Structure formats: structure tokens, C-alpha cells
Structure 1
Amino acid sequence: MNFKNLKEYLAWLYYQYLLITGIYVLEPWEKSIFNSILFSAIAMVIYTSYVFVPIHVRLALEFFSGIFGDHSSFS
């Protein structure tokens, strides 16, 4: 894939993003505020998933190993 096709594809994806979210009707300063809030929320979800999911998986494994009879610790 050459760079022209990649640039056109990324422009098409951005255009789809504008259409799906409906922000194509907003002014530039409104778009920047909307995008900042959206990407901050996505970053917080990714961070909390990174921090808390492994803890819950370990606790679930310990819980189910206790139920099914394996009494070794996963820590």
C-alpha cells in the first residue's frame, strides 16, 4: 500500500468518524472540546482496564480454584 492510498483511507476514516458522531455540524472549537472529552474518557477506560482487570482475574481464579478443589495459591 502506498502513502497516497493510506492517506486517502485515513481521510475516509476521519470522515466516517465525523458523520457517525455528528460533529461535522459543530464549529472547530466545539469539535476540539468534544474530541478532548471523548478521548479523555477512552483513555480513562483503557487505564482502569489495565489496572483493575488483572486484579479481578486473579481473584476470580482463586475463587474458582477454591470451589473446584485446587488449594494452591496463584499469587
Structure 2
Amino acid sequence: MEYLAWLYYQYLLVTGIYVLEPWEKSIFNSVLFSAVAMVIYTSYVFVPIHVRLALEFFSAICGGQPESTMALMN
């Protein structure tokens, strides 16, 4: 428990919010938490799609075999 308190104290010192009033700290923490949550959600949803599309694009450029429609019909 002391370690978590020390980490929180370090967070306050590094961000400089130790000088803010309690209501200002809560607003700052809310905005920061919301921004981090949006970045994590966006990374989870959109990064795999872009990685897959990039892999398909570069495999096509580097001589990947195109799918044949005749092979799908057989």
C-alpha cells in the first residue's frame, strides 16, 4: 500500500498537479483518464485493421500471389 501511495505521489510531482485544488485535480485526472481510455480503445479497434491492410498491400507489392477466381469456383 505504501508503494502505491509513493507512485501516486510521484505522479503528482511529475505532472505538477500537486499544487492544484482538489476539484482541479479531479477534473485533470478525469480528462487524462478519458484521453488514455480513448487511445487504448482506438488502438484496440483500428490498429489491427490497418496492420492487416498494410500486410496485404505489401505482400501484393512484394510479389504475393493474387487469388484466382477460378480456384474459388472449383
TM range (shorter): 0.7 to 0.9
- Cα distance in 2 for partners of 1:65, 1:23 equals 48
User: Which whole-Å deviations, capped at 9, do the CAs of 1:9-68 have from their partners, x for residues lacking one?
Assistant: 11110000000000000000000000000000000000000010000000011011101x
Q: Which runs of 4+ in 1 moved over 6 A?
A: none
Q: How many aligned positions are there?
A: 62
- What TM-score do the two structures reach when normalised by structure 2? 0.79
Tell me the C-alpha RMSD between the 2 structures: 3.4
Name the residue aligned to 2:41.
Answer: 47
Give me the identity figure in percent. Answer: 90
Bigger radius of gyration among the two:
2
With CA pairs under 8 Å and 6+ residues apart, which has the higher RCO, 1 or 2? Answer: 1
- What TM-score do the two structures reach when normalised by structure 1? 0.78
Mind listing any 5+ residue stretches in structure 2 that lack a counterpart?
62-72
